[in-house]
Chains A and B, each alone.
Chain A
């Protein structure tokens, strides 16, 4: 079994700051981490490696410093790593990113593509599903568990929905997007860390993937960011602990006061 796991380096922050002039994320001084959902996906892949000896290849598209999360993936147990990095890929939106990653995936041999549900910096949850579309394979999003039956060659996946979950079975190639909340990723092992920098990260430029340049990077990105801003906090609301009848009177009075009704 060969697994291709897509991971992304993201700023580790719950309070993302925006540069007021450029309207982009301020990344200076913010530690970069492996995106949590992607790490969850990597953990599922490594569990399949533990049980069935799967070969795990991690791939990321990003700046040269994204090498760090690939080393982390090695130290967790990944076998191969690819860094897709090129100025021509810069400024890509989700469409251009998914085309580039799908292009890279076409150059590789795999049974299953695993990605995170969404990245904590962009929060779009689009790249994984778009990749599946470009590759022409089925997709299951919001994956909370992955099991494999070696005899039947069949995967069983638990997919979270708003009000519960679905259990889905499939055979053949597919793409899964996984949830960080569903699994506790393993720590890097000390031995894995010591070996992480002795392993080779393959560096791929745009020329390694068969995708027209017009569909990559800024050129291939129809999304134009009009404005980014930090949402201002609202004033705290008023809390009235009253019974239902009084509550109705209070709400009606307030709405009248504001000339809404």
Chain B
């Protein structure tokens, strides 16, 4: 048992923190204010290999592990949660299912460009009537000769409009329920594929969240991901990894808010002394720090287990990922809310970053499975089948 990062992971953390502080932080308020996708940062990250961290070298990736990937999302989100989720959705929701379930041809066609950040990836599961109940898919895919024809809508899709490759789930046989769902790889340039309404959000406002519209979208038969009927399983397993990304994002937001507040409470004077000198501040901040560290242990442990899963697919990390996301997201919400409180009136203004962090934190309790869904996953593992 060893809780230390390896030398490689430490060196990586040093790099990504410096990159986040110097390149990401200065843009965070601006992209939030303008609801603008951070294209310039995406290009810088691509150059450094940040879009291919846990991808094997044979597919053009960096050959790193999921702990490094988790650290990347955490450190980026510590400065800007939008930037964190761009990397998370790309890595966990698009590259990961292709790597896990794709054929060798699919991997060779898509992964090198995705890992290099030449292409950005996204994932389409949620529909207007299929959110937490993901099995209620209405988007359909019908085999016509050597092509699949996709029709339907997907909503709340992260990286929509900026992504080049989408992993999309659709119903291929409604009579089979969840076993009638399949997964596909859709390129953004395919005729009939369009981007619909862009959502105006409370937080992560630089992240592009929009609707995908499929109107007789014809893709090659070979773009089926996995086997027919495996789509639901692929989606659920993809979300297991995705949850570690979002847990890392939540952890980063919480840490960022705490760091800002430690700095602020040491500078801000009331009643003749720094507010950090009041025991109430110290005790409450100590509690927040403890919760953040507990969340970090859960997140790192889940990422470690995912790495074990990569080596041996019998290792299941669903509940670990769910616990990490549940706890990190709720910690992020609590920490950021309290950090706004310590900033007083200033905390409520956009002059300080904590109000943005509080708005950003909320989504981590909702997307890639709400906190309620995480509890369902954890309880499912805890109770097994109840007679």
Residues of A within 8 A of B (CB): 68, 71-72, 75, 187-191, 193-197
Contacts and interface: CB of A to CB of B under 8 A. Distances in A.
B11 A190 contact: no
A187 B11 contact: no
B77 to A, nearest CB: 17
Interface string B65-82: 000100000000000000
Contact of B18 (A68, A75, A187, A194): A187
Interface of B: 7-8, 11-12, 14-15, 18-19, 47-50, 52-53, 57, 61-64, 68
Contact of B64 (A72, A187, A194): A194
Contacts of A72: 11, 14
A3 B12 CA distance: 26
A71 B14 CA distance: 12
Contacts, number: 50
19 contacts: A68-B11, A72-B11, A75-B15, A187-B15, A187-B18, A187-B48, A189-B62, A190-B15, A190-B48, A190-B53, A191-B61, A193-B8, A193-B11, A194-B63, A195-B63, A196-B8, A197-B7, A197-B8, A197-B11
A199 to B, nearest CB: 12
Contacts of B62: 189-191, 193-194
Nearest to B68: A190
Contacts of B14: 72, 188
Given A71-B7, A196-B8, A191 B63 contact: yes
Contacts of A187: 15, 18-19, 48
Contacts of B63: 191, 194-195
A77 to B, nearest CB: 12
Contacts of B64: 190, 193-194
Given A187-B19, A191-B63, A75 B49 contact: no
Contacts of B53: 190
Contacts of A71: 7, 11
Contacts of A75: 11, 15
B178 to A, nearest CB: 37
A182 B18 CA distance: 19
Nearest to B49: A190
A206 to B, nearest CB: 27
Contacts of A195: 63
Contacts of A190: 12, 15, 48-50, 52-53, 62, 64, 68
B49 A191 contact: yes
Nearest to A195: B63
A68 B11 CA distance: 8
B247 to A, nearest CB: 21
Given A72-B11, A190-B52, 4 more contacts: A71-B11, A75-B11, A75-B15, A190-B15
Contacts of A197: 7-8, 11
A190 B61 CA distance: 9
A248 to B, nearest CB: 40
Contacts of B11: 68, 71-72, 75, 188, 193, 196-197
> Nearest 6 A-B pairs (CB), nearest first?
A190-B49, A190-B62, A191-B62, A188-B15, A194-B63, A193-B12
